[in-house]
Each structure stands twice: as C-alpha cells, then as structure tokens.
Chain A
C-alpha cells in the first residue's frame, strides 16, 4: 500500500491503495466517483475515459502510481452545472439509450473539442471510433459532437 495525493476535478484527494490499482477503481471504489464506468478493463471500449491534463485517457489500465501530479477530470468535474457544451449537445440531441457508455463518450468528445474546436466529420469519427456503444447510438453521438463544436 502507498499513499497518493491525486488532483481530481480541481480538488486534492489522498488515497492509500496498492500502486498497481487502476485509476478507474480508485475513482469508483475509494472516492465514490462512479460516473466513470467499468466495462472491458482492457482499454478496448472507452467507457472508463477520463481526462489526464486534458487528454482523453482510459482509466481502466492506468495505474494510480503513474498519475503523479497530473490533473484528472472525470464526468463529475467536466462542468459545475452539467452545462459543458458537449453535455448540452448530448441533451439537445437526446443521444442515450441505456446510457452506460455515455460518460466515456462525452469525455472523449470534450477532449477532442478542446484540442480541435472545429473537427471535420472524419476527425470526429477517427476519435469517437475508440468508444463502443452497444445500443448503437453512433449516429447521434456524431451529430452531438458536431453540434457541440458549432455551439461552442
């Protein structure tokens, strides 16, 4: 066990966990931030996507020991009132079916727009192809990312 001081959503959290514990499980089991989802555990589906210094990162395979002083943002911290342009677009387009993958989708889309405020459809697809949606809401995800870029 080791002590880690983590910067998450603008706050500092101290946790005492095994060093190989993935950030995903630190968030979910130790800090109660359950918006970040477990689905595959092997960086294949994107449900666990968080931001690490603004970059979209799979938290299910990221050991807590490698986080260091990097700034972590989770879906809970993307905006204070749930009004990030991507969240607003997701509501406007009414993207979700079951909703389980959507936090990861939103985090990936938000990171894309931060880096590239006006992505082409091709760039949207290249990025969002990392995230699985078993319900098949892909058309709406694509539409919502484009809307968020437009409304920014």
Chain B
C-alpha cells in the first residue's frame, strides 16, 4: 500500500553542486565494536555528491548526505529527521552522513526548534525528499537495465531487478538520476513497511559528543576574534554611573565599552573577563518600576480579587450553576518564576563587516536572529548569514534573539569579530523567565457528584494568557468561565518548555483530583466520565481529541495497575500538550512510616514513534524536568534581580532524586504529533496527587519542598 502525494516544487529546489554548506560536524561512528568503513572523508563525499534536493545528496561511492535544517538542542532531531528521509529513500543507514544545515529560507521551511512542531511540520516534506530521489534512481535503473520500472525494487541503497536478481548500487545511478526532473507525484510507504523508522537508531553526533569535538556555540573559535562579557542591568533599572578603573587593570582586558544600558568587557580570553566583571562598579537607578517577590505575592492577591480580567471562554451560565450547586470546591495554586538554565550558557559569535553580518551560535530561531540583527543594523536580511551550532539545551530561552543582537551590536562598535559569552550568573539573572502565575479554580457539583460548573481565573506576571481555554476540561462542563489577568512587569519572560502548561497542567490535574475526591469518585473514573461527556455531547469548541485522550488515560490505568494494590498510593494526571497526549501515574509506597516515591508510569500518544530510543528518553527526560522543577526549584526576586544566581542556590534535580520511569507508547499509525514538550506537563500533578493519597497533604504551590505541608512528612525518592 502506498499513498500518492503531490510534491511541492518549492521543497525540491535544485542546489548547485554541494552548496548546502554548513558546519561540517557530522561524525561517523555507529559503535566502537563495529566501526563503519569510512573510505572517504566528509569533504571528499561532499565534493563528489550529486544533489537531489535541499535535504539530500548521494555520492558515486554510495554515501548518502542528509542535511538536517532544524536546530538540535537535545530533542534528537538531527538523527530523526534524516531517518525519515533515509526511510523513503530505502538508504543503507550505515552509509548516511548527517550535516547541520545553515539558515536558508529558500531551501527550508520553519527552520526553528519550538512548540514540539518540527516533526509534525516536516514529516511529509522529509518523506517526499527521500521518495522523489528513490523514484529518480528507479527511473535511471530502468533505463540502464532496459526493463520496466515495475519490475524493480529498492533495498538498503540498491535497486534490485527481481526477475534476474541483478542489483545496481545507488552510487552507480546518481550521475544519471540526479539529472532527471523530479516527479510531480510520488508514492510514500505505508507505515507498516517502515524499516528505519521505528527502529532504535543511535544519535549521529555520539562520537563527536563523547570525544570532546567542538560542536557547541561556546566551542566556536575564529582567528582574530575577541571575547566579551556583558554586565546587564537589573530589571526596571538603568545605568547611573560606571567605574571601570579596577576592571581595566585586570591583565588580559583590552577594552570596556558602555552601550545600550550594558557594559561590555573585552579581551582575548575568557578568564580575565570573569575576573574583571567582579571588579566593575556599576550603579543603577530606577527606570520605571522595580519589583521584588513580595510585590508579586501582593499583586497575586489583589489581582485575583479585583484585577481586570480578559474572558477567555464562557459556556452556559456559571453563576446559576454555582448558586444551585450541592457542593462547591475551591482552591488556589501558585508557581514561581523559573530560569531555563541550559547547561551551555547563552553565547553568540558575530562579525559585522560593513553592511554584512556573519552570525554563528546556538539559537532555536535562526531566522529571528537574522531579522532582529538586520533590523538593528538597518541592512537587508539577506546580508545576514546564520550558522547553527549544536545547542547545549534551550528549553525556550534560545527562542529569543537578545543574545545574538547584542553580539552584533558589540561587533559593530568594536569593528571586530566577537564572541559574547554569558557567565552562569549572567544566564540566570539575564532574563526571559517562565512567568510566575497564580490560579483560582472553582467547581460546582450536583447531588450526583457531576461537575455542573467550572471556573478558572489565572493571574500572571508577564504571562500573556495564563490559561488554555479550549483544552480539557472545557467541552465536558455545561457552565464554564475561564479568565486571565496579566500584570506587565519589567522582568522579562518567555516560553519555557511547554509554555504555561508546564504549571497549569499540575494545578488543573491536582484540582480535578480534589473535585473527584470531594464527591468520593475514583480520579480515573471521574476523568473518564468528563471525557465521555465531551465525546457524546460536547459543550462548545474543543481543541483536543477526546478518543486519543481517553486511550492514554485507560492505558495508563492498565499499565500502572491503577488501584489494584492497597500498599501502593497512586496519583493520576493526564494532559494534552501541543499535539500529543500523555497520562502519568506516580507510585508512592510507605517504608518505615515514610512515603517513598518509587515509580512514574507514562503512556504517550505522539503518533508514529520515529526513533524509539530517542522517544523513550524524551519522555523520561520530560518527566525528570517536570519533577525537578515541581519539587525543588525556586526563583525569587529582590529589587529587580533574581536572588538565585547559580546552581548552589538554584536547585536542579540530580541523579539520586529520580525514581524509576516506565514508558509506554500508543501504537496507532497516526503521523507524528511531536514529543519535545508533552511529557513534562503531567508530572507535577501525578506526584502531588500521589502525595495527597499517601499523606493527606495537598501541595498547592511549587516548589513542593518549600511548602509548609511538605515539612510535615519526609518524601524519599528511590529507584526500585
């Protein structure tokens, strides 16, 4: 079975020679025990390769070159994208070499990493890139063998003539095949016929990563470049005075430059800059409001009570529902600001040469980096080139371009190529946080324990819309009101892995648990009742697929033996995030009268799993991330600056604090729906609900360990 798909000419622009360029950092190392035969160097392969389309070239040696356009930050896209191309090409994976492509809007669409959208967006495009090349190879082979194309098959980099048993390697066909016109229509495989997709393929950068090759932005070096670090102002402040006399005395410091409310220290190496930064005396004065955490706590109370709200969604008549309710449940939840804190601090290389700019570094949005730089320098966007390095984490921080633009601005001032490095302290205090939010939930229940009314009011500090108004439980409740209040603050905020839902999911799923238990219903059954209602008789518009959500709920209950063992206290949580569905169950057991978090079971529906190893880790990593920040991490502000400036006080989860995680996927053949974020949102709720079951303590704020209720028991975390 094959699906016929129309090709889009724009996807198949021919590239002259091998001009795709890029940072040639791809490595060839499938495993130490079975080293790949590497006859030709990367440069040799690239020089010989015949181009088929933006993604794909093949050399006469049979080596297949695949360009991965999207930034790689740990979501494994640099391995999974090429897998999809190679699948439809019927390539021999052992002969595939992967290269990171530079920013190129002519060749690629949506060259960014965010919103768990890369695979859903590019899935068909990648398949067609492989399938059209395969088609051309078949045409060339039919002509060489003087047989009908229908008599030919492909397997592992060879065209096979079934009747005669003759085989021709792709490499022997590329000279002819690459000259042919790409077809208008092309057949794609049925997912049941996949040979590479769905198999565990190792990360293509393993050898480079595990032997210390220069992969990351911070590793970039250019002859003649200078290094710089920048002292940025607290939020809401501007520079009053700068005394750089002591900083300038540090050997190795060549320059101190004040620009745009920043003070840059320049030198040839990094250590003198770190030293000089501590000796720099900058005083600041307010430039508008200057906020601290106590201001935010006060604002949360005031704005929850009488802040001007935007109505996000209104179904039925909530006032009526609440006035006739047999029971009303109400609770408030709060979360702090969080820093993204990727292990690689922000950094970027910029070289402004007249009206042209070269940018190199770790960015999730190379196109935004280009546009903002062009805007700042008032030059055409095509004058700005962006080379994408590997990213040492992103989590949303690298969606912004502030760290790119300042490097370009400094390069222009210095008239030199410059690499700006943020110290860890700069990274943590330099902004764009997960916003702090407070929620108030209210549920109205009738005599039978049905939820007849639901109200959610969110107050956020620079959070935009604090709600996801068309997500669950919307659609399952007759009378519903969802409102959001925003406070504009000088403290910058930004998308943080699973924006808004990284906290909303915990609050909502904890509250749903509170409601279920208030009417003596099993939390899983209660959720399924709501989903049945949304399925059979939905109220208003809903943006989630009820059947997919129900399936993960039921499967998670089954895989975790929900409610079957009285000695295991379980907490349930489910969330629709971006385009995928994840349900989780946390298991707590009592040992010596003490609750021990032992295991989290996760059931994910992200459609077709491209790479099971990568997908499994994406879920485990998301759970570790969600758990760590729910349990341990806090960020408070004093006079416009975070109190926590480094990992000694900003507590991230460590190895010993991670329980066993049991990962399952729904096998439904749906095209991939994304996995970079969806496993994170449900985790906090599953743990909090298990804690309640085990201890009777409801944790309504994060981080858990700083709550008064938490100090009344002592949760241990143990792997089985």
Stretch at the interface among B26-34, B40-48, B520-528, B550-558: B26-34
Q: Which residues of B contact A (CB under 8 A)?
A: 29, 31-33, 72-76, 200, 202-203, 205-207, 209-216, 218-219, 221, 227, 251-252, 269-272, 274-275, 341-345, 390-395, 421, 423-424, 613-614, 617-618, 620-625, 628, 646-648, 652-656, 658, 661, 719
- Contact between A99 and B270, CB atoms less than 8 A apart: no
Closest approach, in angstroms, between the C-beta of B332 and any C-beta of chain A? 29
A18-B271, A88-B32 known, 6 other contacts, Cβ within 8 Å: A17-B271, A32-B221, A45-B647, A82-B211, A98-B390, A133-B343
Q: List 16 A-B contacts (CB under 8 A).
A: A29-B227, A33-B212, A35-B211, A38-B218, A40-B646, A45-B647, A76-B211, A82-B211, A94-B613, A100-B343, A103-B212, A129-B655, A135-B74, A138-B655, A141-B655, A142-B655
Residue numbers in A under 8 Å from B202 (CB-CB): 91, 94
* Also in contact, A74 and B251, with CB within 8 A (given A38-B218, A97-B76, A135-B621): no
Report A-chain residues with C-beta under 8 Å of the C-beta of B227.
29
A54: interface (CB < 8 Å): no
Which residues of chain B come closer than 8 Å to A34, judged between CB atoms?
212, 214, 218-219, 221
Number of A-B pairs, beta carbon distance below 8 Å: 190
A137 contacts the other chain (CB 8 A): yes
Is A152 on the interface with B (CB-CB < 8 A)? no
Q: Which residues of A contact B343 (CB under 8 A)?
A: 37, 39, 45, 47, 98, 100-101, 132-134
The reply to whether the CB of A150 lies closer than 8 angstroms to some CB of chain B is: no
Q: Are A44 and B647 also in contact (CB < 8 A) when A96-B206, A135-B621 are? A: yes
The 10 closest A-B pairs by CB, nearest first: A35-B212, A136-B624, A100-B392, A98-B74, A97-B74, A75-B212, A99-B209, A136-B621, A29-B269, A44-B647
CB-defined contacts of A58 to chain B, threshold 8 Å: none
What's the minimum C-beta distance from A64 to chain B, rounded to whole angstroms?
Answer: 10
Q: Is the CB of A98 within 8 A of B73?
A: yes
Q: Which of B29, B424, B653 contacts A82 (CB 8 A)?
A: B29
User: Across the interface, do B210 and A42 meet the contact criterion of CB distance under 8 Å?
Assistant: no
Closest CB of chain B to A24's CB: distance in Å?
9
Given contacts A47-B343, A132-B647, A134-B652, contact A100 B393 (CB under 8 A): yes
Q: Are B392 and A98 in contact (CB under 8 A)?
A: yes
Count chain A residues whose beta carbon lies closer than 8 angstroms to a beta carbon of B: 63
> With A97-B74, A98-B343, A99-B392 in contact, is A137–B210 under 8 Å at CB?
no
**Do the beta carbons of B218 and A25 come within 8 Å of each other?**
no
CB pair B271–A106 under 8 Å, yes or no, is: no
CB–CB A102/B209 < 8 A: yes
Residues of A within 8 A of B (CB): 1, 17-18, 20-22, 25, 28-30, 32-42, 44-45, 47, 74-76, 78, 81-83, 87-88, 90-92, 94, 96-103, 106, 121, 125-126, 128-129, 131-142
List the A residue with the shortest CB-CB distance to B272.
A18
Q: How far is the CB of A19 from chain B (nearest CB, A)?
A: 11
Contact check, A98 vs B648: say whether CB atoms are below 8 A apart: no
Complex CA–CA separation, A29 to B391 (angstroms):
20
Q: Select from chain A the residue with minimum beta-carbon distance to B424.
A: A40
Min CB gap B7→A, angstroms? 33
Minimum C-beta distance from B77 to chain A (A) = 11
- CB-nearest residue of chain A to B208: A99
The answer to whether A137 touches B345, judged by C-beta atoms less than 8 angstroms apart, is: no
Please, how many angstroms separate the alpha-carbon atoms of A21 and B272 in the complex? 8
**Which one, A17, A20, A41, A74, contacts B423 given CB within 8 A?**
A41
Check if A82 sits within 8 Å of B621, measured CB to CB: no
Given A42-B647, A140-B617, A90:B206 Cβ within 8 A? yes
Q: How far is the CB of B123 from chain A (nearest CB, A)?
A: 21
Q: Are A134 and B648 in contact (CB under 8 A)?
A: no
B212 near A29 with CB under 8 A, answer: no
With A74-B212, A103-B210, A136-B623 already in contact, the answer to whether A129 and B654 are too (CB < 8 A) is yes
With a CB–CB cut-off of 8 A, which chain A residues contact B625?
A: 134-136
The answer to whether A88 and B652 touch across the interface, beta carbons within 8 angstroms, is: no
Known: A35-B211, A125-B656. A41 touches B274 (CB 8 A): yes
Tell me, in angstroms, the Cα distance from A106 to B252 when the chains sit together.
Answer: 32
Min C-beta distance of B713 to chain A, whole Å: 23
Given A21-B271, A25-B271, A136-B628, A96 contacting B648 (CB threshold 8 A): no
Contact partners of B652 in chain A: CB under 8 A: 132, 134
CB pair A28–B270 under 8 Å, yes or no, is: yes
Give the docked Cα–Cα distance between A83 and B34 (Å). 11
Decide if A91 touches B206 in the complex (CB within 8 Å).
yes
**Interfacial chain A residues near B394, Cβ < 8 Å:** 98
A98 close to B393 (CB less than 8 A): yes
Chain B residues with CB under 8 A of A44:
646-648
Residues in B with CB closer than 8 Å to A41 are 274, 423-424, 646
With both chains docked as a complex, state the minimum distance between the C-beta of B200 and any C-beta of chain A, in angstroms.
7
Please give the distance in Å from A28's CB to the nearest CB on chain B: 7
C-alpha gap A101/B393 in the complex (Å):
10
* Contacting residues, chain B, for A133 (C-beta < 8 A): 343, 655
For B653, give its contact among A20, A96, A131, A136 (CB under 8 Å): A136
Instruction: Tell me which residues across on chain B come within 8 A of A96, comparing CB atoms.
Output: 74, 203, 205-206, 209-210
B31 near A91: Cβ-Cβ < 8 Å = yes
Cα A17 to Cα B391 in complex, Å, equals: 30
CB pair A30–B207 under 8 Å, yes or no, is: no
Does A36 lie within 8 Å of B212, measured CB to CB?
Answer: yes
Return A149 CB to nearest CB of chain B, in Å.
16
CB distance from B243 to the nearest CB of A (A): 22
B390's closest neighbor in chain A, by CB? A99
Closest residue to A96 on the B side, CB-wise?
A: B209
CA distance A17 to B159 in the complex (A): 60
Closest to A93 in B: B613
Which of B205, B209, B622, B655 makes the CB contact (< 8 A) with A128?
B655
Q: How far apart sit A129 and B159, CA to CA, in the bound complex (Å)?
A: 51
Whether A100 contacts B423 by the Cβ 8 Å rule is no
Contact of B210 with A40 in the complex, beta carbons under 8 Å: no
Chain A min CB distance to B336 (Å)? 18
- Chain B residue numbers with a CB within 8 Å of A37 are 216, 218, 343-344, 392
Contacts of A87 in B (CB 8 A): 32, 210-211
Chain A minimum-CB-distance residue to B654: A129
Cα distance, A21 to B203, chains bound together (Å): 35
Which residues on B sit within 8 Å (CB–CB) of A42? 424, 646-648
Inter-subunit contact A98/B391 (CB<8 Å) = yes
Minimum CB–CB distance for B495 against chain A, Å: 16
Cβ distance A112 to chain B, nearest Cβ, rounded Å: 13
A95 to chain B, nearest CB (A): 8
Q: Are A18 and B252 in contact (CB under 8 A)?
A: yes
CB distance from B52 to the nearest CB of A (A): 29
- Name the residue of chain A whose CB is nearest to the CB of B625: A136
Give CA–CA (A135, B424) in the complex, Å.
17
Residue in A closest to B421 when the chains form the complex, CB atoms: A38
Nearest CB on B from A79, distance (A): 8
Q: Does A29 lie within 8 Å of B617, measured CB to CB?
A: no
Q: Which residues of B contact A88 (CB under 8 A)?
A: 31-33
A141 neighbours in B (Cβ, 8 Å): 655
Check if A82 sits within 8 Å of B32, measured CB to CB: yes
Shortest Cβ gap from B252 to chain A (Å): 7
How many Å from the CB of A33 to the closest CB on chain B? 7
Q: Which residues of the partner chain A approach B656 to less than 8 Å between Cβ atoms?
A: 125-126, 129
Report yes or no: A139 in contact with B658, Cβ–Cβ below 8 A: yes
Determine the chain A residues whose CB is within 8 A of the CB of B251 once the complex forms: 1, 18
Bound-complex Cα distance A55 to B671 (A) = 49
Among residues of A, the one whose C-beta sits closest to the C-beta of B622 is A136
Chain B residues in 8 Å Cβ range of A18: 251-252, 271-272
CA distance A32 to B620 in the complex (A): 34
Specify which of B203, B209, B393, B624 lies most central, judged by the most chain A CB atoms within 10 Å of its CB.
B209
